[in-house]
Amino acid sequence: MNKLKEFFNREQNILIHLIATILVIILGIIFKIALYEWLLVLAMVAFVITSELINSSIELVVDLYTSKFNPLAMVAKDVAAGAVLVSAITAACVGVYIFLPKIINIIK
């Protein structure tokens, strides 16, 4: 349990992704989304969390390798963070595709 707590203290973005995942699952249940929509949602959740875990791994390895500033280390970290951003934007687009029509139907 201590290792898990230590992990979430060090990697706070994972906690944000997990909270977003819980909210999306709750919305999916409320809106009774279709099976294919659940598959899309769960694939996006896995995509974002996997990207974040890979980003964290790259950052830790770079930090392990060098403690001094290195432009290539900075690029490696920025590219890994960019991959997380791309995955999050993709997931958000899928979320809009799935949930926006349902929200609009409720408003009407």
How much is the pTM?
0.86
DSSP string, 23-89: HHHHHHHHHT--HHHHHHHHHHHHHHHHHHHHHHHHHHHHHHH-SS--HHHHHHHHHHHHHHHHHHH
* pLDDT, averaged across the chain: 92
Question: Please, what are the domains in the chain?
Answer: 2-107 (1.10.287.3610)
Close Cβ partners of 76 (under 8 Å, ≥ 6 residues apart):
58, 62
Q: What is the rounded average pLDDT of the residues 22-28? A: 96
- Which has the minimum average pLDDT: 2-6, 20-24, 104-108? 2-6
Over the stretch 63-102, which tens digit does the pLDDT of each residue have?
999 888 899 999 999 999 999 999 999 999 999 999 999 9
